[in-house]
Amino acid sequence: MYGGSGPDIELGAEADTDDSASYEDRVILDDPYYAEGFVGDNGVDSYQYRPTVLDDPSLSFVNDGDVPLQVYLDGELYETVSPDQGTENERVDPEAPSTGQNTVRVEAVGEGASNYTLSAGEGGTAAFFYESRANPGTTAENPDYTGYVSGAYGFVGSGGVDTYSSDGLLYSAENNGTATLRIYQNDELWATLEPGESEESSNQ
C-alpha cells in the first residue's frame, strides 16, 4: 500500500508484528513511505493512515498473491485489489527472487555495531532494493534505508546481516561504526572493512 509523498502510515491493532507472525507487516522508510504485509485464510491487517491533504486520500496498491484483497478506509470499502494488480517491477512476496541483478550482503563480524553506506553502478548512481534480511521497517530500532534514487544506508551489530540487490555492481562502501564489516557481492567477498574504513571500486 503506497500512501503518496508525505502522509503518515502506522501499524494498526490487527497488523502482525515480527514476534507474532512468519511474515511481518511493516511500514517501510522510503520515499514515499509505504506499508507491506501478508494475509491469508480470510485474515485481516489494519493500519492508521493520515493523508497529506485532509479528506483527500492518495492510495495505490500492489497484490502479488492469488486472492482478491478488499481494502476498507474508515469502515467503507475503498477498493478491491485483484491478484497481480500493480505488480509491475514490484517485489512484495517474501519468497520472491531478488529484484536487482546483483545481490549484496553486509555482515557484522564479532563485537561492535556499525552504520554503513553503500553505492553501486557507474559513479555510484544505481538504485538499491531491500531484500529479505534488510530491516527498513519503522518498528526497527535502527532502520535500514534505500535512497529514492541511489544508495543504501543501514545498521548491523552483533553478527547481524543485511541484504540488498542492485542492477549495478558495487561502487563504494563505508563503515562508520565499531564492528568489522564483510561485504559480499553475488556471494563473493567484495571487501572487509575495519571500523572507519571505506572502499571504492577501481573498475568503474
Per-residue model confidence (pLDDT) at position 14: 61
Q: In one letter, which amino acid is 2? A: Y
> What pLDDT, on the 0 to 100 scale, is given for residue 6?
46
Residue type for position 112:
G
| Residue-level pLDDT at 1 | 46
* pLDDT at residue 200, as a whole number: 94
Query: Which residue bears the cell 497481480?
Result: 84
Peptide bond into 32 cis (omega under 30): yes
54-58, 62-66, 91-95, 134-138: which is most confident: 62-66
Q: Is the pLDDT of residue 91 over 60?
A: no
Measured at the CA of 121, the angle between CA 119 and CA 126, to 5 degrees, comes to 70
pLDDT digits (tens, 9 = 90+) for 101-160: 999 999 999 889 999 999 999 888 898 887 765 565 544 556 566 665 678 888 888 888
Cβ distance 86 to 62 under 8 Å?
A: yes
Does the predicted TM-score (pTM) go above 0.85? no
Domain boundaries, the chain: 1-92, 102-200
Q: Which fold has domain 102-200?
A: Lipoxygenase-1 (2.60.60)
Stretch 191-203: mean pLDDT, rounded? 92
3-state secondary structure of 161: strand
Sheet holding 152-157, edge to edge: 145-146, 152-157, 113-120, 170-177, 198-200
- Is the pLDDT assigned to residue 204 strictly greater than 70? no
Looking at the chain, the whole-number percentage of residues with pLDDT higher than 90 is 27
Q: Rounded to whole angstroms, what are the CA distances from 65 to 91, 110, 155, 184, 201?
A: 11, 39, 31, 31, 39
The model's pLDDT over 19-54, given as tens digits with 9 standing for 90+, comes to 555 666 666 655 556 777 788 778 888 877 777 677
Cell 530491516 belongs to residue: 135
- Judged against a pLDDT cut of 50, whether residue 4 lies above it is answered with no
Q: What is the pLDDT of residue 57?
A: 75
Q: How confident is the model at residue 16 (pLDDT cuts 50, 70, 90)?
A: low
Q: Give the whole-angstrom CA distance, residue 111 versus residue 57.
A: 46
